């Protein structure tokens, strides 16, 4: 009975939560994390944005810096909450409730962002390879720039915060737009699959949607950090 119960639980977990799929997004190593963090902050010199494939499947992130992952977004989210608590503590505004409020607020905005993107993809009838996990990964990369901006604000004041956060905002926008083999190409996958450039209003909607997803990242970065620096 215990064995049968375990099998039932395993089947239901696999059905509700794609554990095997999640393992791919956490298949990272130290070298990948270091290179990815550098790419998020300094994407301007990066030339090769192609995602590597093996037998029609993308290779694990630890073998390709262009592959999306969940390790960095999850760790960055946790670190953001801790740095926010530190920033509040330096201003004598820290409390356990405020820390929970920061975490819940950031999580709520992340969920709203992902749902808004999914709704936009549905409304413009885009056939895309993007999954919800991909969207969470891309949306979570902005926490890296938020952390850098907050730390700069703690060390150098508001001037350092605005300068560094501005740089990180530009970097995340460039990263999202130029990472064409993940975000951009997946949104434009219908046209890419046909091997032709589909012109017209529908193709413009896809391009506008790609730009909108990239442009909204700096707005969230500022909204979730400006009140932590005084």
Q: What is the pLDDT of residue 196?
A: 47
Q: What is the pTM of this model?
A: 0.84
For 18-48, write each residue's pLDDT tens digit.
666 788 899 999 999 999 999 999 999 888 8
Q: What is the pLDDT of residue 200?
A: 53
Question: Based on the number of CB atoms within 10 Å of its own CB, is 6 exposed (0-12), middle (13-18) or buried (19 or more)?
Answer: exposed
């Amino acid at each position: 009975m215990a064995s049968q119960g375990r099998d039932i639980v395993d089947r239901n977990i696999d059905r509700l939560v794609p554990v095997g799929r999640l393992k791919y997004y956490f298949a990272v190593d130290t070298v990948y994390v270091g290179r990815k963090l550098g790419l998020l902050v300094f994407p301007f010199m990066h030339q090769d944005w192609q995602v590597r494939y093996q037998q029609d499947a993308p290779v694990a992130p630890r073998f390709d810096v262009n592959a999306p992952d969940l390790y960095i977004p999850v760790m960055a989210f946790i670190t953001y909450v801790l740095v926010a608590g530190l920033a509040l503590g330096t201003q004598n505004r820290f409390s356990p409730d405020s820390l929970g409020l920061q975490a819940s607020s950031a999580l709520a905005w992340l969920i709203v962002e992902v749902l808004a993107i999914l709704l936009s993809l549905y409304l413009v009838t885009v056939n895309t390879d993007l999954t919800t996990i991909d969207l969470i990964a891309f949306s979570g990369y902005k926490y890296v720039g938020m952390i850098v901006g907050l730390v700069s604000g703690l060390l150098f004041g508001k001037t350092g915060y605005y300068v560094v956060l501005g740089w990180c905002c530009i970097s995340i926008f460039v990263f999202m737009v130029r990472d064409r083999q993940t975000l951009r190409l997946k949104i434009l996958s219908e046209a890419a699959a046909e091997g032709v450039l589909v012109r017209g209003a529908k193709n413009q909607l896809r391009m506008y949607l790609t730009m909108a997803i990239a442009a909204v990242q700096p707005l969230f970065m500022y909204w979730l950090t400006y009140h932590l620096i005084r």
